[in-house]
Structure 1
Amino acid sequence: MTNLDFLLPKSSPTDLRSIVWPRPMTVLVTAPHPDDFDAIGVTLKYLKNQGHDIHALVAETGSGIDKVYGAGMTQEEKRQLRVREQTGSLRFFGLPDQNFRFLNLNNAPDDQVVDDEANRLFLEKLIRQIHPDLLFMPHGNDSNRAHRDMANMMKAIASKVEWPIALLFNSDVKTIGMKKDFYVGFDEADAQWKAQLLRYHDSQHQRNLRDRKYGFDDRVLMLNRKTATELGIREPYAASFEIDIL
């Protein structure tokens, strides 16, 4: 038994909003890319409004900026552009500056975070400092290698620390498959708020408009609409999560 057993769902899927929280929790989002925080923004807003302490660690990367948007930019300039975009979205969300940090981790040749010993040690040090109860991240069963690597590192670190951590893996447009243990449904007003949050990532928004003929906001919200339909809930949108308590 752990002090997080109240999070074990009695059935899957369970509405996360039905959880009775025994105390305020420390919630940490570990994002392998700028914009991974925003992909679950409505859920994080709900937790923030419940009085939980939200933190974010965001890996720096210039990936995802295409040759049109990034014409003439160095890789470091692309990184800093994405940092500025994420900073704007986090401030719009209402996260205090002291609650988020950008990390210059070791990256693979694609300029995305890689699972290596140095990154594991550095991330473990930060997690011990923040001491989270809930740890959010993209799912490991995902076509994006950085999503997989971040999930693997977080699972390894959470298994080493001396307190229980609930790992919450979120569904992403690149998730191949996952168990839906929890969900958070939301309405059109929250969808529009989330769209505004996502549009702070203008480099990703413009790339989607060029390549897919719809925006970054629509790309993420289409997944949320699909999830709500699959769950058969009354709200038109939903985010879903798989839980593992270590």
Structure 2
Amino acid sequence: MNLEFLLAGKRPVDLRKINWLGKLKLLVTAPHPDDFDAIGVTLRYMVGQGHELYVVVAETGSGIDKVYGAGMVQDDRRQLRVREQTASFRFFGLSGTHYRFLKLNNENDDQVADDSENRIFLEKLIREIRPDMLFMPHGNDTNRAHRAMYAMMKAIASKVEWPVALMLNSDVKTVDMRKDFYVPFDETQAQWKGELLRYHDSQHQRNLRDRGYGFDERVLMLNRKTAAGLGISEPYAASFELELCN
């Protein structure tokens, strides 16, 4: 599909205003469990428009602190985060045939590595699914795994023989980005998103201990800040930078 229509309009563009020329195949490439949930309202909207959604999640036990993970070994932590994400997918309504957990090579921090073996594996997966649009955290980010996934996906999307749109989402650890698209949402949708995020209880409890507020509030604070910066009437928004490959 020709994706040049995504470049139309003055930036930033409300994603709800896009005149879709066809149904897209969407793929979320998540370097952590919970990266999917951080853009849950946007993905819910896209599914509601009839686009087909797939998700791949790199397995990691990172983010589980010594209190929550007391007595756990590395594989225990990874499997806990898989269970949390699986419960979140079920709440979202995503079919089990549309998500996969990936046992990729990880660095010493137990987060995905940008190496040749992972790139070969991910390219094979991309060619198998053949997505039109990839969602992932932005590469200009303090989180090493976010940068690694972006670098690998950008290289693969630039290599395949069909057009691919990269939708790079704003995250609490994003340093800076261009806001090409945004998806506004209201309090009811924020409550739904908060419930989705709280399925990641290991992250929720860590935030409560370390910051005094939960994982849900940490993400929704960013969405409130984004909406305020855009000057829109809705209280929340997710934002994305677009890169077209091929």
TM bracket, shorter-chain basis: over 0.9
Which 4+ stretches in 1 moved above 3 angstroms? none
Task: Look up the SS of the partner of 1:223 in the other structure.
Answer: helix
Alignment match, 2:197: 198
Alignment match, 1:136: 135
Question: Are the equivalent residues in 2 in contact too, given 1:32–1:113 (CA < 8 A)?
Answer: yes
Give the drift of 1:9.
3.9
Alignment match, 2:39: 40
The letter of the residue matching 1:144 is N
Alignment match, 1:169: 168
Give the drift of 1:23.
1.1
Task: Look up the SS of the partner of 1:224 in the other structure.
Answer: helix
Say if 2:19 is the partner of 1:10.
no
Give the drift of 1:10.
2.0
Alignment match, 1:125: 124
Give the drift of 1:11.
1.5
Alignment match, 2:94: 95
Identity %: 72
Question: Are the equivalent residues in 2 in contact too, given 1:9–1:182 (CA < 8 A)?
Answer: no
Structure 2 gaps of 5+ residues are none
Alignment match, 1:84: 83
The letter of the residue matching 2:194 is A
Question: Are the equivalent residues in 2 in contact too, given 1:48–1:54 (CA < 8 A)?
Answer: yes
CA displacement, residues 97-152 of structure 1 (integer Å, 9 cap, x when unaligned): 00000000000000000100000000000110110001000000000000000000
Alignment match, 1:52: 51
Say if 2:148 is the partner of 1:186.
no
* TM-align CA RMSD: 0.6
TM-score for the superposition, normalised by structure 1 = 0.99
Task: Look up the SS of the partner of 2:27 in the other structure.
Answer: strand
How many residue pairs are counted as aligned between the two chains? 245
TM-score for the superposition, normalised by structure 2 = 0.99
Give the drift of 1:155.
0.2
Structure 1 gaps of 5+ residues are none
Paired with 2:196 and 2:76, the residues of 1 have a C-alpha distance of 22
Alignment match, 1:31: 30
Task: Look up the SS of the partner of 1:241 in the other structure.
Answer: strand
Alignment match, 2:107: 108
Task: Look up the SS of the partner of 2:63 in the other structure.
Answer: coil
Question: Are the equivalent residues in 2 in contact too, given 1:9–1:181 (CA < 8 A)?
Answer: no
Paired with 2:8 and 2:77, the residues of 1 have a C-alpha distance of 41
Paired with 2:132 and 2:72, the residues of 1 have a C-alpha distance of 39
Give the drift of 1:201.
0.1
